[in-house]
Amino acid sequence: MCVTTTFAKENFSELSLHDTLARVCWYAACTSANHEKTVALELGRRGMEGFLPLYSSVRRWEDRQVRLELPLFPGYVLVHVALRDRLQVLQVPGVARLVGFGGLPAALPDEQVDALRAGLRGQLCAEPHPYLAIGRRVRMVRGPLRGTEGILIRKKGVFRFVLSLELIARSVAVEVDAADVEAL
């Protein structure tokens, strides 16, 4: 895990800054549109560890079917580097920036990236899904409430769809599968 540690010494700022810059972590590199594969290949060519998770998708046209390998996270390539080496990543053609906050790149949790890599190596069937934040407005796409809009919440580890009747200021929560809703 990439966590900055501080030391109880007079110049702890220098130590923690040095440690932060030297620690190798996973970062998300934002790429130009449809340049994910090119960026991943170029990172490898330059000796940097990149990770581009792909999924298989069948596209149908009138006269044929084509199986495509598409990025699981369109517009992003994950890169495993020390923060001090970020300039090398930013110099790769097709990389726009490293995702972060306040002008500083933010590290991704190693556990999440490792789990994703292990799952994809184990032939886990993955496909992109819209990011659904708890409390976000969603629309039901399957089931008896199909087409109904509400709010997605989580209670006791279960997703619930909250349907509000504004006229009478009352709501009802229904357990749902996250795959049955789409973000608005």
So what's the pLDDT on residue 179? 87
Could you tell me how far CA 145 lies from the centroid of its own chain?
Answer: 29
* DSSP secondary structure string for all residues of 99-156: -EETTEE-PBPHHHHHHHHHHHHTT----------TT-EEEE-SSTTTT-EEEEEEET
So what's the pLDDT on residue 28? 94
* DSSP secondary structure string for all residues of 44-62: HHTT-EEE--EEEEEEE-S
Cβ-Cβ contacts under 8 Å for 48 (sequence gap 6 or more): 79, 80, 81, 85, 88, 89
So what's the pLDDT on residue 5? 26
Identify the structural domains of the chain with CATH numbers, from first to last.
Answer: 12-121 (3.30.70.940), 137-183 (2.30.30)
> Does residue 38 have a pLDDT over 90?
yes
> Does residue 131 have a pLDDT over 80?
no
So what's the pLDDT on residue 3? 30
Going by pLDDT thresholds of 50, 70 and 90, the confidence category of residue 94 is very high
> Does residue 55 have a pLDDT over 70?
yes
Pairing of strands 137-140, 149-155: antiparallel
* Least confident residue range of 1-5, 82-86, 134-138: 1-5
> Does residue 164 have a pLDDT over 50?
yes
